[in-house]
Chains A and B, each alone.
Chain A
Amino acid sequence: SQTIHQWPATLVQPVGSPLSLECTVEGTSNPNLYWYRQAAGRGLQLLFYSVGIGQISSEVPQNLSASRPQDRQFILSSKKLLLSDSGFYLCAWSVLGAGAKNIQYFGAGTRLSVL
């Protein structure tokens, strides 16, 4: 069966420090991968998605970047964190099925606090 791992679960970082969040998927090949951010009490905002190694699409211009160095590894990074980067970050994967059956499965999330 497929599993998705996301770490760390919580992170407290000072403003201006770098960031690296990692997400890996097991049990499937060539998945679509996604990074979302969720502000407290709000919906999900898609940040990046990837359909293959080295292929990254950015949805929102911001202080963050993403990379996919391996088929089932997705990394979210920042060189210098801002206060506004605080939030709950979720990684997800999907494999497009028939029609529009693009079910996304999510990791447990990372709660990032920038102080």
Chain B
Amino acid sequence: AQKITQTQPGMFVQEKEAVTLDCTYDTSDPSYGLFWYKQPSSGEMIFLIYQGSYDQQNATEGRYSLNFQKARKSANLVISASQLGDSAMYFCAMTFNKFYFGSGTKLNVKP
């Protein structure tokens, strides 16, 4: 069975600091994709970053980077220089033939 685990229901970070949101996954398939989405209070799911299982380098998109540790089956999201607008729910997801979402982490950025 495939599984995505986010162990941090809620996180606080000071504005301008970096924060790491944890995600671990479980799959026996060698080819898969890992994703992070942001869901602000408005509800829309916003795609942030993608990492393929065969990618050699960690993915980066602006202030977002994905710390991919394949042997440990972890795909943590790092947000650098947090902004107040980063306050939202963050979901880790995985796909190989279907899409699987984690339970989410609620991030609060404090001024």
Instruction: Give the interface of A toward B (CB within 8 A).
Output: 34, 42-44, 46, 49, 88, 90, 92, 99-109, 111
Contacts and interface: CB of A to CB of B under 8 A. Distances in A.
Contact of A104 (B54, B99, B102, B104): B99
A103 B44 contact: no
B103 to A, nearest CB: 5
Given A42-B103, A102-B99, A90 B53 contact: no
Interface residues on B, range: 20 to 34
Contacts of A99: 31, 33, 52-54
The interface centre, meaning the residue of A44, A92, A105 with most chain B CB atoms within 10 A of its CB, is A44
A102 B33 contact: yes
Interface of B: 31-33, 35, 37, 42-47, 50, 52-54, 91, 95-96, 98-99, 101-104
A92 B47 CA distance: 11
Contact of B99 (A34, A101, A107, A108): A34
Contacts, number: 57
Given A106-B45, A106-B46, A108-B42, 14 more contacts: A43-B91, A43-B103, A44-B91, A88-B43, A90-B45, A99-B54, A100-B31, A101-B50, A103-B33, A104-B35, A106-B37, A106-B44, A106-B47, A107-B44
A103 B35 contact: yes
Nearest to B104: A43
B71 to A, nearest CB: 18
A34 B52 CA distance: 21
Given A43-B102, A100-B96, A104-B99, A92 B45 contact: yes
Nearest to B29: A100
